[in-house]
Chain A
């Protein structure tokens, strides 16, 4: 018997949240988008992680290619080599992408990006338009590449036999060691003290991760810089930084991620982070003399695409002037 707890979900509420698309296309909104529009959106929103041609960048996923590699030593699993349903592409782009700005694309934009992915994989021509009407006419190459879990039939008969307890095999020897590959992060070794004095001295190879993280004394210059900043503003900026840290890093050991690391950004020429692949638009702005002053940063943070059209920072911007000032103060606290 129902308890009568909860309230009826309103149609607008269901529409807002029930966005799942089924393999037969149920759930798709009306509309469409073409390859060319998709390419523009791709360059703007997706290429920073997935490459201009969906070939992938850094450790981020490659989206197309790899057809026929599923039996290789290193299979390349992409939308055209592995994904069974186009509905999954549409649904995932719509609900989860772009990374750090999910649910900001319109339905037509999702159609266009999906069309561009199909085009990049060579599955459609450049004049193709994907719509809710022709959606289910597209079959992905690996649609038949999946079968339902058969472990109960294939594995259980083998793995439910009475286990052997003695003389089960020939004496063993080492055939592979993790230390030969040497990709394990450093970790401390746990050792104890024993009353019989049997404990060997800790081996010189023992590693303690924390040992390498000794903070260096702050240079005097930095201390002066810090003193001139309003601590409350910096603290507010640190809170606002949450929305930036998906892509950007600051502080000791900051590295380029989705976006460049931002140590020392205030006062520097745009495009200053070594090794970061900036957009052509940002490089052009840098060559044109753009320097990240408090003023230019404020304009950029308010509307990234307004100051530098077609740059790759897919970020909606910060509307609040106070919040921008706080963010800039926070960035200055890392700019000595």
Chain B
């Protein structure tokens, strides 16, 4: 029978919509209200010192909108204006300096797209499949286009002394979360960023200024950047000793595990976005990234890793940025074990859970970049499983 949505005049085809003054700064249309960051309450003692998850299952493309990009705070997201903002460089420099926000805006600007991934992304899955949804297993990541000043430019202003081999970066917030970064990285590609995706940073991402440390764990991307100390060694702060170190099976721990290894995940279908149609053509899509460089290839398996096929990569992959892949599939209606496997330009191939656990055991918490499996049953429902 004819579709009344076609044959009958709909209200929106007859009556008027909203004027240009209705939403000076718009939110997504309310039909998309479910596309939001989500919190897993039991993970932490208090939402003020916690993390939430990007709804990667409901997004496409590569850029993460700021409004739903995951947040991690150690003492809450603070309100600080551009006028109040101060940045200090201290320590082993010729001239300790103070900059205002306006000062930063007068310096040569750079712009790059990078992913920011929490080292604990997937950390709940070391012991076995635990959280049921791509948002929860892989949502501690976002990918934005940053504009700012190269950290190198600021360090040059102060003049790093030869014995200054590390920087220590810390924030204005009550945790003043600090991390040590070797000078080589600080002078290479770090950005003192004030715009993301073309607009000012959001409060929860460090407005007005955060540090961008491409390819390295998100904890180092200090928000509300307050001070850059130049030192002759690492500070060995709480965030780089008691946290963000990887406990190995022999009871010793890896430290300075900064680089985020190549990783991928199928975002759809996944537990939050099952296959809601019957057999036939479908799109399998997901994200891949590597802290070591560009993603050059993504393979997809529908049978749990027995056989693999190369997916299509959308656009031009960029170094240390998220890459979108598509795999056009004709579903026969039989259950599937969906997996994706990222390969980067250094030849690094994303490992299986078995491979990672053989080296790192189950207590690492951080840097779980293993291949994820979604089981899709004959009804199209998807769930997080492990296979043997």
Our verdict on whether A and B bind, yes or no, reads yes
Question: Which positions 238-272 of chain B face chain A at CB distance < 8 Å?
Answer: 238, 241-242, 245, 247, 249-259, 261, 271-272
Q: Whose C-beta in chain B lies nearest to the C-beta of A102?
A: B174
Contacts of B195 in A (CB 8 A): none
Taking a contact as CB atoms closer than 8 A, the residue among B57, B227, B375 that contacts A190 in the complex is B57
Interface-located stretch among A6-14, A130-138, A284-292, A323-331: A6-14
Taking a contact as CB atoms closer than 8 A, the residue among B156, B238, B273, B348 that contacts A91 in the complex is B238
Q: How far does the alpha carbon of A156 sit from the alpha carbon of B229 in the complex, in Å?
A: 33
Question: Within the complex, what minimum Cβ distance (angstroms) separates A165 from chain B?
Answer: 5
Closest 8 CB pairs of A and B: A172-B304, A59-B45, A198-B278, A178-B384, A70-B251, A9-B96, A172-B387, A175-B388
Known: A2-B159, A96-B74, A190-B58. A151 touches B261 (CB 8 A): yes
Which of A192, A210, A246 has the most CB atoms of chain B within a 10 A radius of its CB? Answer: A246
Contacts of A4 in B (CB 8 A): 157
Asked if A183 and B38 sit within 8 Å, CB to CB, the answer is: no
Asked if A82 and B242 sit within 8 Å, CB to CB, the answer is: yes
Q: Whose C-beta in chain B lies nearest to the C-beta of A15?
A: B90
Q: How far does the alpha carbon of A71 sit from the alpha carbon of B364 in the complex, in Å?
A: 11
Question: Within the complex, what minimum Cβ distance (angstroms) separates A66 from chain B?
Answer: 12
Q: How far does the alpha carbon of A178 sit from the alpha carbon of B133 in the complex, in Å?
A: 9
Contacts of B253 in A (CB 8 A): 70, 82, 145-147
Contacts of B82 in A (CB 8 A): none
Measured CB to CB, the residues of A under 8 A from B are 2-9, 13-14, 17-18, 20-23, 49, 58-60, 70-71, 73, 75, 77, 79, 82-85, 87-88, 91-92, 95-96, 99-100, 102-103, 145-151, 154-156, 158-161, 163-179, 181, 183-185, 187-192, 194, 196, 198-200, 203, 208, 210, 246, 257-258
Q: How far does the alpha carbon of A4 sit from the alpha carbon of B106 in the complex, in Å?
A: 11
Asked if B132 and A5 sit within 8 Å, CB to CB, the answer is: no
Asked if A102 and B176 sit within 8 Å, CB to CB, the answer is: yes
Asked if B103 and A146 sit within 8 Å, CB to CB, the answer is: no
Known: A146-B253, A155-B359. A14 touches B242 (CB 8 A): no
Asked if B384 and A177 sit within 8 Å, CB to CB, the answer is: yes
Q: How far does the alpha carbon of A184 sit from the alpha carbon of B45 in the complex, in Å?
A: 17
Contacts of A14 in B (CB 8 A): 88, 90, 96
Question: Which positions 287-327 of chain B face chain A at CB distance < 8 Å?
Answer: 299, 303-309
Interface-located stretch among B62-70, B123-131, B200-208: B123-131
Known: A5-B103, A21-B235, A185-B41. A163 touches B349 (CB 8 A): yes
Interface-located stretch among B109-117, B184-192, B339-347: B339-347
Question: Which positions 344-364 of chain B face chain A at CB distance < 8 Å?
Answer: 346-351, 355, 359, 362-363
Q: How far does the alpha carbon of A73 sit from the alpha carbon of B361 in the complex, in Å?
A: 10
Asked if B226 and A159 sit within 8 Å, CB to CB, the answer is: no
Question: Which positions 43-60 of chain B face chain A at CB distance < 8 Å?
Answer: 44-46, 48-49, 57-58
Asked if B363 and A75 sit within 8 Å, CB to CB, the answer is: yes
Question: Within the complex, what minimum Cβ distance (angstroms) separates B344 from chain A?
Answer: 10
Asked if A5 and B107 sit within 8 Å, CB to CB, the answer is: yes
Known: A75-B247, A178-B130. A147 touches B255 (CB 8 A): yes
Contacts of A22 in B (CB 8 A): 231, 233, 235-236
Asked if B251 and A85 sit within 8 Å, CB to CB, the answer is: no
Chain B 327-342: CB-based contact to A (< 8 A → 1; otherwise 0): 0000000000100010
Q: Whose C-beta in chain B lies nearest to the C-beta of A87?
A: B236
Asked if A187 and B272 sit within 8 Å, CB to CB, the answer is: yes
Contacts of A164 in B (CB 8 A): 308
B76 interface contact, C-beta 8 A? yes
Contacts of A178 in B (CB 8 A): 129-132, 271, 383-385
Question: Within the complex, what minimum Cβ distance (angstroms) separates A140 from chain B?
Answer: 10
Taking a contact as CB atoms closer than 8 A, the residue among B158, B273, B349, B350 that contacts A161 in the complex is B349
Contacts of A79 in B (CB 8 A): 242
Contacts of B363 in A (CB 8 A): 70, 75
Taking a contact as CB atoms closer than 8 A, the residue among B106, B168, B176, B226 that contacts A96 in the complex is B176
Which of A13, A149, A196 has the most CB atoms of chain B within a 10 A radius of its CB? Answer: A149
Q: How far does the alpha carbon of A2 sit from the alpha carbon of B254 in the complex, in Å?
A: 38
Asked if A84 and B97 sit within 8 Å, CB to CB, the answer is: no
Question: Within the complex, what minimum Cβ distance (angstroms) separates B265 from chain A?
Answer: 14
Q: How far does the alpha carbon of A4 sit from the alpha carbon of B133 in the complex, in Å?
A: 51
Taking a contact as CB atoms closer than 8 A, the residue among A102, A163, A185, A192 that contacts B75 in the complex is A102
B381 interface contact, C-beta 8 A? yes
Q: How far does the alpha carbon of A253 sit from the alpha carbon of B258 in the complex, in Å?
A: 39
10 A-B residue pairs with Cβ-Cβ distance under 8 Å, sorted by A, are A3-B107, A75-B251, A88-B242, A148-B254, A159-B350, A167-B306, A174-B386, A190-B273, A203-B379, A203-B381
Question: Within the complex, what minimum Cβ distance (angstroms) separates B351 from chain A?
Answer: 5
Q: Whose C-beta in chain A lies nearest to the C-beta of B127?
A: A73
Known: A2-B156, A178-B383, A178-B384. A172 touches B305 (CB 8 A): yes
Question: Which positions 25-47 of chain B face chain A at CB distance < 8 Å?
Answer: 33-34, 38-42, 44-46
Asked if A20 and B97 sit within 8 Å, CB to CB, the answer is: no
Question: Within the complex, what minimum Cβ distance (angstroms) separates A93 from chain B?
Answer: 9
Question: Within the complex, what minimum Cβ distance (angstroms) separates A153 from chain B?
Answer: 11
Known: A7-B98, A178-B384. A166 touches B307 (CB 8 A): yes
Asked if B90 and A18 sit within 8 Å, CB to CB, the answer is: yes
Q: How far does the alpha carbon of A187 sit from the alpha carbon of B348 in the complex, in Å?
A: 34
Known: A8-B96, A9-B96, A82-B242. A184 touches B133 (CB 8 A): yes
Asked if B97 and A6 sit within 8 Å, CB to CB, the answer is: yes
Question: Within the complex, what minimum Cβ distance (angstroms) separates B178 from chain A?
Answer: 7
B218 interface contact, C-beta 8 A? no
Asked if A85 and B241 sit within 8 Å, CB to CB, the answer is: yes
Contacts of B355 in A (CB 8 A): 158-159
Asked if A183 and B305 sit within 8 Å, CB to CB, the answer is: no
Contacts of A160 in B (CB 8 A): 346-349
Known: A6-B99, A187-B133, A200-B380. A70 touches B278 (CB 8 A): no
Asked if B99 and A84 sit within 8 Å, CB to CB, the answer is: no
Asked if A192 and B277 sit within 8 Å, CB to CB, the answer is: yes
Contacts of A99 in B (CB 8 A): 49, 75, 174
Question: Which positions 131-180 of chain B face chain A at CB distance < 8 Å?
Answer: 131-133, 135-136, 153, 156-159, 168, 170, 174-178
Taking a contact as CB atoms closer than 8 A, the residue among A82, A88, A156, A181 that contacts B236 in the complex is A88
Contacts of B306 in A (CB 8 A): 166-172
